[in-house]
């Protein structure tokens, strides 16, 4: 990570201050300056506590959205740099910015505004190198001026209010008359690090046209229509309207509709999620908010009068991560499942891996991120995205080594000191996964000391006799198998000490491997021995000699089998008990956030691939395909977010755009299609092709853009013959494991390969 140049200026902003419950108009800030010679190059370094959009001589700087992003502003803020040479001119110039509340002083989660500070602050430095080599610098200082903008309210959760009648044409252009503007307020320099962002910026990634307009009413005083975009997504809308001066148009957003066709907004909780636009004339006007985003499929528009024309376009926002993976197969609903997984990732990878994009939460929950990260790495290049978020996690780590449940951290969120099993463990699991998928040793080195401090905290403060979350400690034991259908949280289900000890063992196994990669031999021995003691403690407390598990939930067996905590001789009986429970439920799962990611893998690796495929293809509740059969275009937070019998689930926690259960994608790519990384040669230096066909699927294909080029596989079954075509990138090798175990693996060099095997009947 590169650090900032020395900023010679000051943090500046408006003198206007909002309250914990209401904001003030977004301020403009500007400065005029002159250049008397030809220009060689000009670089603008810029950041804000809050959000900013810059303009120079009336033209917008860059295409980034919601910059500089979300960090713990008590510790760190990122800056961006822009080459603005083409925006400057000999003679008079002007630079300006409009500042938004963002995460800094807007609403964050359930709490009042002003989590970090009371108003936005702005820091910028323009370095102009003249043709003769002399450097001219413009910095933010007391010479800048400010005034209120037409953005009367702006908030990530509440929405944006814009009055076009208050626009100040040419406000960022040279020669603009700013004599009635105020002097900015100069703030004491905050004690925080200003660094260049390692993350990809948020941008407008795509546009979505509506698929339907539902007219609800129309009259001379105002109209009401609901626009359906056909896809749940994160972003905002661009409104084109021909209204009348002073006419205000109201836009409300929702993911789904009530049975009567109205917006279902109860699940938004306290988030207002409403935009307002007031027209300045009777001419056609185009408006898109600057400083908000929504999670939605439907938009309700009101304030349109009879006969007035309008258009609404959906604008998709997320971090600019190149798409790297693709998956398709012969099952249309599984193809839609893949689309839902990808849209869930797009919707929640907006600078921070959030749990949801619509309600008054939108937090970087650690548990959600760690269960999904393997799937995320296949679909998009998330390397820089997670480098940034791992720094957020380090900044959130407590002095005693505890890792909280969310990152970035902020004062107003009543965050539990330690996130608990499967949540706090993201601090180890996520860097390890980035290493496996990208060969990125740096992320391990950057966070190794942080990982060690976390494990020391767990060992000293959350364990008794090597049992993590031991009930005798009477401390927070985690969230359990969150939203499992056989109980989670305080509702019973899989025991928290079992989950805790399973992940404690998994952490030490990973740490032993990380220490090996980094050449920390003493640590390798330490973590290897500790892992052995934890496994022994787990078996004594939770496993009978016959392989029966305490509690007997599906997740109990899944974790024990996946993390290698059951003696080899008892694995078969444990797997049989897991299948017995699945069959007793009519071939349905009951797992929550913790058990679901590993369920199909455990079944497949323990002789029950047929059961894994039956769960994957299950269309009745609960299953991955049930929401799709009922119109889902993203992954739901709950298996029972909506059912025909009960309607909507708990309105206080019922997101229709989460991604945790989308973790099944990794199994689809690695097992159904058969394209996977070799953990012994990370970063796809060596590729494992190992398709394991099953269920009703007759063909599947996947491709992945690796650092060395595209790897791909396609297979199909036709007239009893399994045929496969694969592509191995240059500089890479691969091993193909045929679907029949009786066949020997085939070592492949770079290039295209066609392979086939007859399938034995039955």
What is the DSSP code string of 261-328? SSB--GGGTT---EEEEE-SSSSEEEE--SS--EEEEEEEEEEEPTT--EEEEEEEEEE---B-EEEE
CB 326 within 8 A of CB 702: yes
The residue from 255, 637, 701, 716 that is catalytic is: 637
Question: What tokens appear for 759 in the block?
Answer: 């399938």
List % helix, strand, coil for the chain (3-state, nearest 5).
25, 30, 45
Q: In this structure, what DSSP letter does residue 65 have?
A: B
Say if strands 733-736 and 686-689 run parallel, antiparallel, or are unpaired.
parallel
CB 538 within 8 A of CB 530: no
- Region of residue 723 (phi > 0: left; psi between -120 and 50: alpha; otherwise: beta): beta
Using CA atoms, how far residue 424 sits from 249, 369, 756, in Å, is 44, 11, 45
**C-alpha–C-alpha distance, residues 661 and 636, integer Å:** 8
**C-alpha–C-alpha distance, residues 204 and 182, integer Å:** 33
CB atoms under 10 Å from CB of 133, counted, come to 7
Q: In this structure, what DSSP letter does residue 658 have?
A: B
CB atoms under 10 Å from CB of 549, counted, come to 25
Question: What tokens appear for 349 in the block?
Answer: 């990878």
CB 450 within 8 A of CB 394: yes
CB 677 within 8 A of CB 724: no
Using CA atoms, how far residue 144 sits from 12, 15, 98, 178, 184, in Å, is 8, 13, 13, 10, 6
**C-alpha–C-alpha distance, residues 213 and 377, integer Å:** 36
Helices (H), 359-474: 366-379, 383-396, 426-438, 441-461
For the question of residue 509 being annotated catalytic, the response is: no
Look at the block and give the residue holding tokens 């002095």: 399
- Region of residue 678 (phi > 0: left; psi between -120 and 50: alpha; otherwise: beta): beta
Question: What tokens appear for 20 in the block?
Answer: 């914990």
Say if strands 274-278 and 159-163 run parallel, antiparallel, or are unpaired.
parallel
The residue from 361, 509, 577, 716 that is catalytic is: 361
Q: Using DSSP, how many helices (H) and how many strands (E) does the chain show? A: 14, 38
For the question of residue 255 being annotated catalytic, the response is: no
β-bridge partners, 145:
30, 183
Question: What tokens appear for 33 in the block?
Answer: 């300056």
CB atoms under 10 Å from CB of 331, counted, come to 20
**C-alpha–C-alpha distance, residues 187 and 391, integer Å:** 26
Which residues does the annotation mark as catalytic?
Answer: 361, 637
């Amino acid at each position: 990570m590169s650090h900032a140049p020395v900023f010679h200026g000051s943090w500046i902003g408006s003198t206007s201050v909002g309250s914990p419950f209401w904001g003030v108009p977004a301020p403009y800030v500007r400065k005029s300056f002159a250049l008397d010679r030809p220009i060689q190059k000009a670089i603008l370094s810029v950041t804000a506590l809050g959000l900013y959009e810059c303009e120079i001589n009336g033209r917008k700087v860059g295409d980034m959205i919601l910059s500089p992003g979300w960090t713990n502003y008590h510790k760190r803020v990122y800056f961006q740099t822009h080459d603005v040479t083409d925006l400057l001119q000999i003679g008079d110039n002007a630079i300006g910015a409009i500042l938004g509340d963002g995460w800094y002083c807007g609403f964050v989660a359930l709490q009042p505004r002003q989590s970090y500070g009371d108003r936005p602050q702005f820091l910028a430095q323009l370095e102009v190198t003249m043709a003769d080599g002399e450097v001219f610098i413009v910095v933010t200082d007391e010479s800048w001026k400010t005034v209120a903008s037409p953005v009367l309210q702006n908030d990530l959760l509440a929405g944006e209010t814009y009055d076009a009648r208050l626009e100040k044409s040419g406000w960022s252009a040279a020669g603009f008359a700013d004599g009635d503007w105020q002097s900015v307020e100069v703030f004491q320099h905050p004690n925080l690090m200003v660094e260049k962002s390692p993350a990809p910026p948020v941008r407008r990634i795509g546009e979505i046209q509506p698929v339907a307009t539902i007219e609800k009413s129309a009259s001379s005083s105002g109209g009401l229509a609901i626009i359906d975009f056909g896809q749940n997504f994160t972003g905002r809308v661009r409104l084109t309207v021909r209204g009348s001066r002073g006419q205000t148009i109201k836009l409300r957003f929702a993911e789904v509709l009530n049975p009567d066709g109205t917006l279902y907004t109860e699940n938004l909780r306290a988030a207002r999620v409403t935009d307002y636009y007031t027209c300045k004339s009777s001419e056609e006007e185009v408006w898109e908010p600057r400083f908000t985003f929504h999670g939605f499929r439907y938009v309700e528009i009101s304030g349109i009068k009879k006969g007035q024309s309008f258009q609404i376009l959906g604008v998709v926002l997320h971090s600019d991560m190149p798409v790297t993976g693709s998956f398709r197969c012969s099952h249309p609903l599984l193809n839609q499942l893949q689309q839902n997984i990808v849209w869930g990732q797009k919707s929640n990878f907006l600078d921070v891996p959030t749990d949801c994009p619509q309600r008054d939460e939108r937090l970087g929950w650690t548990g959600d991120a760690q269960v999904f990260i393997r799937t995320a790495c296949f679909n998009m290049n998330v390397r820089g995205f997670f480098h940034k978020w791992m720094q957020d996690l380090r900044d959130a780590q407590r002095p005693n080594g505890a890792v909280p449940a969310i990152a970035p951290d902020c004062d107003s969120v009543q965050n539990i000191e330690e996130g608990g099993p499967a949540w706090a463990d993201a601090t180890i699991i996520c860097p390890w996964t980035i290493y496996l998928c990208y060969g990125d040793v740096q992320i391990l080195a950057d966070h190794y000391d942080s990982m060690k401090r976390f494990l020391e905290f767990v060992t000293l403060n959350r364990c008794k006799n090597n049992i993590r979350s031991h009930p005798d400690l009477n401390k927070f034991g985690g969230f359990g198998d969150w939203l499992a259908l056989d109980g989670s949280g305080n509702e019973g289900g899989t025991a928290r000490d079992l989950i805790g000890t399973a992940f404690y063992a998994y952490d030490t196994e990973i740490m032993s491997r990380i220490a090996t990669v980094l050449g920390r031999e003493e640590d390798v021995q330490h973590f290897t021995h500790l892992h052995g003691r934890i496994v022994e403690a787990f078996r004594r407390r939770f496993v009978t000699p016959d392989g029966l598990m305490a509690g007997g939930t599906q997740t109990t067996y899944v974790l024990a089998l996946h993390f290698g905590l059951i003696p080899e001789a008892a694995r078969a009986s444990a797997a049989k008990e897991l299948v017995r429970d699945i069959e007793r439920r009519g071939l349905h799962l009951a797992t929550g956030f913790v058990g679901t990611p590993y369920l199909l893998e455990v079944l497949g690796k323990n002789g029950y691939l047929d059961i894994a495929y039956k769960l994957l293809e299950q269309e009745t509740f609960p299953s991955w395909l049930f929401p799709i059969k009922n119109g889902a275009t993203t992954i739901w937070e709950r298996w029972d977010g909506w059912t025909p019998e009960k309607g909507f689930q708990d309105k206080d926690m019922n997101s229709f755009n989460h991604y945790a259960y989308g973790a099944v994608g990794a199994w689809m790519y690695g097992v159904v299609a058969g394209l996977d990384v070799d953990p012994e040669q990370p970063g796809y230096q060596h590729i494992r092709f190992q398709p394991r066909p099953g269920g009703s699927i007759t063909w599947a294909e996947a491709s992945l853009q690796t650092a060395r080029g595209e790897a791909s596989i396609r297979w199909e079954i036709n007239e009893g013959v399994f045929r496969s075509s694969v592509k191995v990138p240059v500089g890479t090798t691969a091993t193909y494991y045929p679907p029949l175990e009786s066949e020997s693996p085939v070592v492949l060099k770079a290039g295209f390969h066609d392979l086939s095997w007859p399938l034995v009947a039955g």
